[in-house]
A and B are shown apart, each in its own frame.
Chain A
Amino acid sequence: MTEPTLLRDQHYQYLKKGLRHLSDAYECLDASRPWLCYWILHSLELLEEPVPTAIASDVCKFLARCQSPTGGFAGGPCQAAHLAPTYAAVNALCIIGTQEAYNIIDREKLLSFLFSVKQPDGSFVMHIGGEVDVRSTYCAASVASLTNIMTPTLFQDTPTWIVSCQNWEGGLGGVPGLEAHGGYTFCGMAAMVILGKEHMLDLKSLLRWVASRQMRYEGGFQGRCNKLVDGCYSFWQAGLLPLLHRALFKGGDSTLSLQKWMFEQQALQEYILLCCQNPAGGLLDKPGKSRDFYHTCYCLSGLSVAQHFGNMDLHHELIVGREENRLAPSHPVYNICPEKVAQAIQHFHQLPVPVPAQKEGEAPNRLS
């Protein structure tokens, strides 16, 4: 059997093109264009393909047009601010990592946007007049920590709310009561790690739940118990294991492996390389499905998680196939490269935390 090969060149051409032009099939993502920037830029950085300076600058200028006058980023120019494109825009700008990129973010307005979507029970709505679910806590915690705008009250009661999303299965649902789901579990756990409160979760049952989500035949992960495998869960689910490893280690666990995550890394890489690649470039959910930039980003992110164990001090690689399949490591919390995280945090920590103009809890914005 020929060794599984990552179709680097094909993926690169697909990504390079998409960063400029997308077909009308992407009309459905017209309210998610910062996501398209992030998915593509992150995929390129995992492939260790540089982004030409001119394009990087164009991305900055475009994201500036997506920034709302009242703070936060929207899905496109002249749309309303929303936590998901806010998360994506900040991540994309941090990947670019130039002064121009950092300077796009209006930190004062971003903070006031976060306060404007904060709810009394600790949760956040995704946008003014929008829905609550655990994604919002991750988006808020991610951008607030990267841009150094965390205040003492911003995340008050948020950890308690996130904990209430953990259910009888051990994973987390979108809101309290719902079925445990990989995407929401990742968001909740990563948010808790950012907030330093991961030990409030039942880590043991979370670990059992996520470990059980790897499919014994396919090697990839399912999003929920008794559902089908999907390449994107290579990140949302497998990406939990580095977070859990670190949390358990912090908690004093001395029985953790020094070399491997608690999932079958080889099997996941094989699933992605053998079943999730489009020969013309791009990655996908499962054979028979169409490629898209979301799956390209998260299949590659999952491949990176499966290839790299550890962190700066301790690093152990397991590359299925040729060395050329190797991707760059990614930060398990933010899902951008660790150097970009460090650089952004270093930059924004030189700036003072903005003073909130509006207090949390004032005029909760849930109407309409």
Chain B
Amino acid sequence: SEDPKQLIQDRKEWADLEPVPQDDGPNPVVKIAYSDKFTDVYDYFRALLKNDEKSDRALLLTAEAIELNAANYTVWHYRRVLLQALEKDLREEMRYITAIIEDQPKNYQVWHHRRMVVEWLNDPSEELEFIAEILSQDAKNYHAWQHRQWVIKEYKLWDSELEYVEQLLEEDVRNNSAWNQRHYIISHTTGYSDPAILNREVQYSLKQIKKAPHNESVWNYLKGILQDLGLSSHPGLLEQILELKETHCSPYLLGFLVDIYEDFLENTLEHHEEVLSKALELCELLAREKDTIRREYWSYVGRSLQTKYGSSDSSTTTSAPGSDSGSVHQETPCSS
């Protein structure tokens, strides 16, 4: 068997194959100063591709090419063609791809390759544990979560996932990927229509808010699960939030209040002026003091609410003094 430290060009097993150098043309651009090893391996890869060679040595070469550049999707595709043509042991391939992902977990091709092998084997039995291992090193790895959602949906492995999500949230309540997974699981299983489920989730969220009030994820989750039904429709929620405002205030809480008031305005006719005035006051407070990085946004929200829900004879503008963001009531075109 081959000595990986030797260049391919010096290996007797490859003597019959003529390497194909890369042709960048006479005046190359973005020319990479490849190492000798890189040039060597890829010259031979190009030769294999040209001859459409399907052999064990070709498979070995794809591994070397992958090691030098795991993002070369052409090599990965060829490897898959070889695996099928040579009817290779896919369990061994699982072991291979496991090691590669451990080493380079933020690469598209490696995860896609693993998905293909799992599909060919029709065996997801290692997946949840493997992905959990990767997530234990980086709890927000996007590719890992994507693979996890695919495995769970494809093979209907929903049963233990909520428990897993709760464990992750226990470790880091600010893990937005975990909150997303929570939403994913519940939407695809029980759904949020059942009042018992919705209430459970609202209570869970409020509990997490009390533990860590400045956690944007939980506030977004609370809004996310209530917005279809309407934030103002959940009994007692406004009161609970107003209570929290005293001890656990945050820009997120204030923004949430704006959302509740807006929903109220959308869905109720009574107390319009009062509710609108509260909402506008909060937008002003956020823009001016509590969330100034979003000054332009909150000013816009205020103006929008005023325009949509303001009575026709209240013509005060809602721009903060000194700001340039006047409202547009003329027909300046903004075409492009």
Interface residues of A (CB under 8 A from B): 18-24, 26-33, 36-37, 40, 54-55, 58-59, 61-62, 65, 74-80, 82, 126-131, 133, 167-169, 173-175, 177-181, 205, 207-208, 211-212, 214-216, 219, 224-227, 245-246, 249, 253-264, 267, 310-314, 368
Contacts of B73 in A (CB 8 A): 31, 75, 79-80, 82, 126-127, 130
Contact assessment for A175 and B77 in the assembled complex, using a CB-CB cutoff below 8 Å: no
Looking at chain B, what size class is its interface with the partner chain? 35 or more
Instruction: Please tell me which stretch of B19-27, B87-95, B155-163, B234-242 contacts chain A, meaning at least 4 of its Cβ atoms lie within 8 angstroms of it.
Output: B19-27
Contact assessment for A26 and B32 in the assembled complex, using a CB-CB cutoff below 8 Å: yes
Closest residue of A by beta carbon distance from B83: A368
Contact flag A258-B307 (CB < 8 Å), given A62-B29, A168-B224, A216-B293: no
Contact assessment for B177 and A179 in the assembled complex, using a CB-CB cutoff below 8 Å: yes
> Which of B35, B225, B297 meets A263, CB within 8 Å?
B297
Contact sample, A vs B, 7 pairs, CB 8 Å cutoff: A21-B31, A207-B297, A211-B297, A212-B216, A219-B293, A255-B328, A257-B324
Contact assessment for A178 and B69 in the assembled complex, using a CB-CB cutoff below 8 Å: no
Q: How near does chain A come to B106, taking the closest CB pair, in angstroms?
A: 11
Contacts of B42 in A (CB 8 A): 30
Closest residue of A by beta carbon distance from B175: A226
Q: How near does chain A come to B153, taking the closest CB pair, in angstroms?
A: 8
Contact assessment for B30 and A62 in the assembled complex, using a CB-CB cutoff below 8 Å: yes
Q: How far is the CA of A200 from the CA of B145 in the complex (A)?
A: 26
Contacts of A311 in B (CB 8 A): 334-336
B72 on the interface (CB 8 Å rule)? yes
B164 on the interface (CB 8 Å rule)? no
Contact assessment for A59 and B38 in the assembled complex, using a CB-CB cutoff below 8 Å: no
Contact flag A255-B296 (CB < 8 Å), given A19-B30, A58-B28: no
Interface residues of B (CB under 8 A from A): 20, 22-25, 27-35, 38, 42, 46, 49, 68-74, 77, 80-81, 84, 108, 111-112, 115-116, 140, 142, 145-146, 149, 153, 174-177, 180, 183-184, 188, 215-217, 220-221, 224-225, 227, 291-297, 299-300, 303-304, 306-307, 324-329, 332-336
Q: How far is the CA of A9 from the CA of B110 in the complex (A)?
A: 39
Q: How near does chain A come to B313, taking the closest CB pair, in angstroms?
A: 18
Ranked 10 nearest A-B pairs via Cβ: A168-B224, A255-B303, A311-B336, A179-B180, A211-B297, A257-B325, A36-B30, A225-B176, A79-B74, A216-B293
> Which of B34, B292, B303, B324 meets A259, CB within 8 Å?
B324
Q: How near does chain A come to B282, taking the closest CB pair, in angstroms?
A: 14
Contact assessment for B25 and A65 in the assembled complex, using a CB-CB cutoff below 8 Å: yes
Contacts of B328 in A (CB 8 A): 254-258
Contact assessment for B225 and A168 in the assembled complex, using a CB-CB cutoff below 8 Å: yes
Q: Which residue among A245, A246, A257 has the maximum number of chain B CB atoms within 10 Å of its CB? A: A257
Contact flag A20-B217 (CB < 8 Å), given A175-B146, A178-B180, A313-B333: no
Q: How near does chain A come to B305, taking the closest CB pair, in angstroms?
A: 9
Contacts of B28 in A (CB 8 A): 20, 58, 62
Known: A179-B177, A313-B335, A368-B84. 17 other contacts (CB 8 A): A30-B38, A59-B29, A79-B73, A80-B73, A80-B74, A130-B112, A169-B220, A178-B142, A178-B145, A178-B149, A226-B176, A255-B300, A255-B307, A256-B334, A264-B292, A311-B335, A368-B81
> Which of A37, A75, A226, A267 meets B293, CB within 8 Å?
A267
Contact assessment for B304 and A211 in the assembled complex, using a CB-CB cutoff below 8 Å: no
Contact assessment for B72 and A78 in the assembled complex, using a CB-CB cutoff below 8 Å: no
Q: How near does chain A come to B117, taking the closest CB pair, in angstroms?
A: 11
Q: How far is the CA of A214 from the CA of B296 in the complex (A)?
A: 12
Closest residue of B by beta carbon distance from A313: B333
Q: How near does chain A come to B173, taking the closest CB pair, in angstroms?
A: 10
Closest residue of A by beta carbon distance from B25: A61
Contact flag A226-B23 (CB < 8 Å), given A21-B33, A128-B77: no
Contact flag A258-B304 (CB < 8 Å), given A27-B38, A65-B24, A178-B142: no
Contact assessment for A27 and B221 in the assembled complex, using a CB-CB cutoff below 8 Å: no
Contacts of A62 in B (CB 8 A): 24-25, 28-30
